[in-house]
C-alpha cells in the first residue's frame, strides 16, 4: 500500500494530506468501511484507521452501522458528516424592482438548509451583520462567509457598486475581523456564471449576461471552469461598451428593438474577443421574442458559423446562489472543483 509522498513535506503536512484524501473519498461515497477507504485512497489500513479516529473526534466523520465483510467479522461503516462545517452566503439582487438581500446556509454537499429573503433597504454593513449574527447563532458550524454583490471587489474593498453607500467599503477586512472566519466577495454575474458550470452538460466556455431594469448590465465569463476577472476584476463590465444604449431605465427596457440591437452588439463584441461556446442572457423582462431578435441581429454582424449558442437563463437567483455556495465551499477546500461537489440551490 502507498502513502502520499512529496518532496519537502513534513510529517504534519503528510498527516493533513492523508486526512484530506480520506475525507474526500468518504464525501464522494457518503459512507464506507476502513477497508473501502484504504482501497480508494491507496493508504494502509493502519493509516486509515488511525486518521479515522481523528476525524471521528472532530465530528467530521460519524460512526455508522456494522456491515457484513468478506473477512467474516462485521466491519464498521463510517459516514461523512455533511454538517460538520457549513457555509453562509449573502447576496443581493433586484426582484420585481426591489433590492433584496438573500441569505442561505448550505452544508458540505452544497445543499441549502436555511434560506431567507428580505428587502435590502439601508444598503449598509449593518444589514449584513444582522443577518450573519442571526445565522451564526442558529448554525454555529458556519465556517466561511461569501458575499455576492453587483459590483467590483478589489483587494478586499468594494471599488464600484450599484449601491453607492457601500463604495470603497472594506468588506473583506471588516467581516473577517468581526467574525474571525474566511470571507470572500464575488460579483453577482461572475457567481451566476460559475454556478452554471455545475449544471449537467454545461459549456466549457460561456458568458452570462444579466440585464436588470434599474442598472446597467453585467456579464460573467467562465472558461474551463474558471472565472475571467481581468485587471482590477473589471472583466465583464459590459455596461461600459460603447453600444449607444440607455441602460438602466424603464423606457429603454420597454423598447424591444433598442434592447435587442444593444444586446446583439454586446454579444458580437464578446464573440470577437472571447468566442464563447455559449452566451446566456437573463433579465426579468427578456422573453423568447427578444432572444429571436438578438440572434437574428447578431447573425447579421458576425461571420457565418460564429454566432454562439444563445439562450435565456430561467432562474438567475438559482445560478447566483449555486455559484456562491460553490465558491464558499472552495474556500474551505482549496482543491474543490466544479466536478467534485454537488450544489443544490434552494
Same domain, 64 and 94: no
Q: Has residue 338 been placed in a domain?
A: no
Last residue of a domain, one of 50, 80, 110: 80
Q: Is residue 233 part of a domain?
A: yes
Are residues 230 and 326 located together in one domain of the fold?
no
| Residue 114 domain-assigned (yes or no) | yes
Q: Which of 38-52, 123-137, 329-343 has the lowest mean pLDDT?
A: 329-343
CATH number at residue 75: 1.10.10.10
E-state strands within 120-231 = 142-149, 151-154, 157-161, 183-187, 205-210, 218-223, 226-227
Contacts of 70 (CB under 8 A, 6+ apart): none
162 and 97 housed in the same domain: yes
For residue 5, being part of any structural domain is answered with no
Residue 346 belongs to a domain = no
Final residue before a domain boundary, out of 80, 114, 129:
80
| Predicted confidence (pLDDT) per residue in 151-191, tens digit | 667 676 666 667 777 777 888 999 999 999 999 999 899 99
Are 120 and 181 members of one domain? yes
- Claim to verify: residue 294 and residue 157 sit in the same structural domain: no
Distances from the Cα of 280 to the Cαs of 159, 177, 304, in angstroms? 26, 37, 20
Compute how many other C-beta atoms are within 10 angstroms of the C-beta atom of residue 315. 12
Residues 107 and 143 grouped into a single domain: yes
Domain boundary among 41, 56, 80: 80
pLDDT for res 121: 78
Q: Helix crossing, 34-41 with 45-58: angle to 10°? A: 110
- Identify the band that residue 337 occupies on the pLDDT scale cut at 50, 70 and 90: very low
> Do both 160 and 139 map to the same domain?
yes
Cell of 184: 470572500
Number of domains in the chain: 3
Residue 2 belongs to a domain: no
How far is residue 161 from each of residues 55, 158, 229, 256, 326, measured CA to CA in Å?
42, 7, 16, 27, 23
CA distance 47 to 54: 11
Q: How many CB atoms lie within 10 A of CB 266?
A: 24
Which whole number is the average pLDDT over 272-283?
96
What CATH number should be reported for the domain holding residue 276? 3.30.420.40
Q: Among all chains, which residue has been given the C-alpha cell 454586446?
A: 266
Considering the domain architecture, whether residues 285 and 220 belong to the same structural domain is answered as yes
* Domain-embedded: residue 339: no
The grid cell for 155 is 483587494
**Beta strand residue intervals within the chain, DSSP E:** 31-33, 61-67, 75-80, 86-95, 98-106, 112-119, 142-149, 151-154, 157-161, 183-187, 205-210, 218-223, 226-227, 278-282, 309-312
Q: Are strands 205-210 and 142-149 parallel, antiparallel or unpaired?
A: unpaired
Q: The pTM is what?
A: 0.85
Within a domain: 308:
yes
Q: Are 124 and 165 in contact (CB under 8 A)?
A: yes
User: Are 136 and 281 part of one and the same domain?
Assistant: no
Task: Using pLDDT thresholds of 50, 70 and 90, give the confidence band for residue 345.
Answer: low
All three cell numbers of 42, joined, read 491507496
Same domain, 99 and 76: no
User: Which one has a higher pLDDT value, 9 or 61?
Assistant: 61
- Cβ-based neighbours of 125, under 8 Å, separated by 6 or more: 166, 169, 171, 174, 175
How would residue 334 be classed by pLDDT, with cut points 50, 70 and 90?
A: very low
Cα 165 from Cα 74, distance rounded (Å): 62
Residues 167 and 257 in one domain: no
Per the DSSP assignment, residues forming a β-bridge with 148 are 91, 186
Assign 47 a pLDDT band (cuts: 50, 70, 90).
Answer: very high
In order of 182, 227, 336, the CA distances from 20 in angstroms are 19, 25, 11
Query: What is the pLDDT confidence band of residue 34, given thresholds at 50, 70 and 90?
Result: very high
User: Coil, helix or strand for 13?
Assistant: helix
Q: Are residues 259 and 299 in the same domain?
A: yes
What is the span of the domain harbouring residue 289?
A: 199-314
Question: For residue 113, which of 101, 121, 103 has the smallest C-alpha distance?
Answer: 103
For residue 149, which of 108, 199, 94 has the smallest C-alpha distance?
A: 94
Place of cell 456564471: 193
Can you tell me which residue has the cell 458550524?
141
Amino acid at each position: 500500500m502507498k502513502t502520499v509522498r512529496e518532496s519537502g513535506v513534513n510529517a504534519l503536512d503528510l498527516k493533513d494530506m492523508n486526512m484530506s484524501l480520506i475525507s474526500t473519498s468518504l464525501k464522494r461515497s457518503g459512507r464506507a468501511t476502513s477497508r473501502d477507504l484504504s482501497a480508494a485512497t491507496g493508504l494502509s489500513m493502519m493509516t486509515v484507521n488511525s486518521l479515522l479516529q481523528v476525524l471521528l473526534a472532530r465530528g467530521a466523520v460519524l460512526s455508522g452501522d456494522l456491515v457484513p465483510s468478506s473477512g467474516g467479522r462485521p466491519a464498521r461503516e463510517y459516514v461523512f458528516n455533511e454538517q460538520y462545517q457549513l457555509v453562509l452566503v449573502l447576496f443581493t439582487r433586484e426582484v420585481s424592482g426591489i433590492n433584496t438581500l438573500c441569505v442561505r446556509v448550505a452544508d458540505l454537499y452544497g445543499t441549502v438548509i436555511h434560506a431567507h429573503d428580505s428587502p435590502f433597504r439601508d444598503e449598509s454593513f449593518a444589514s449584513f451583520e444582522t443577518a450573519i449574527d442571526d445565522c451564526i447563532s442558529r448554525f454555529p458550524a458556519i465556517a466561511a462567509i461569501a458575499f455576492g454583490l453587483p459590483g467590483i471587489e478589489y483587494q478586499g474593498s468594494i471599488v464600484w457598486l450599484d449601491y453607492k453607500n457601500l463604495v470603497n467599503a472594506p468588506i473583506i477586512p471588516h467581516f473577517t475581523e468581526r467574525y474571525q472566519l474566511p470571507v470572500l466577495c464575488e460579483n453577482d454575474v461572475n457567481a451566476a456564471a460559475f454556478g452554471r458550470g455545475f449544471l449537467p452538460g454545461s459549456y466549457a466556455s460561456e458568458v452570462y449576461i444579466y440585464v436588470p431594469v434599474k442598472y446597467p448590465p453585467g456579464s460573467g465569463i467562465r472558461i474551463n471552469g474558471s472565472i475571467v476577472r481581468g485587471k482590477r476584476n473589471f472583466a465583464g463590465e459590459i455596461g461600459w461598451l460603447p453600444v449607444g444604449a440607455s441602460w438602466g431605465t424603464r423606457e429603454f427596457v420597454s423598447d424591444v428593438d433598442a434592447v435587442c440591437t444593444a444586446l446583439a452588439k454586446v454579444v458580437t463584441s464578446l464573440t470577437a474577443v472571447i468566442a464563447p461556446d455559449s452566451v446566456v442572457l437573463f433579465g426579468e423582462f427578456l422573453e423568447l421574442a427578444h432572444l429571436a431578435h438578438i440572434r437574428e441581429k447578431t447573425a447579421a454582424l458576425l461571420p457565418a458559423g460564429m454566432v454562439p449558442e444563445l439562450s435565456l437563463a430561467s432562474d438567475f437567483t438559482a445560478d447566483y446562489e449555486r455559484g456562491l455556495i460553490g465558491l464558499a465551499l472552495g474556500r474551505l477546500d482549496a482543491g474543490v472543483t466544479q466536478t467534485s461537489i454537488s450544489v443544490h440551490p434552494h
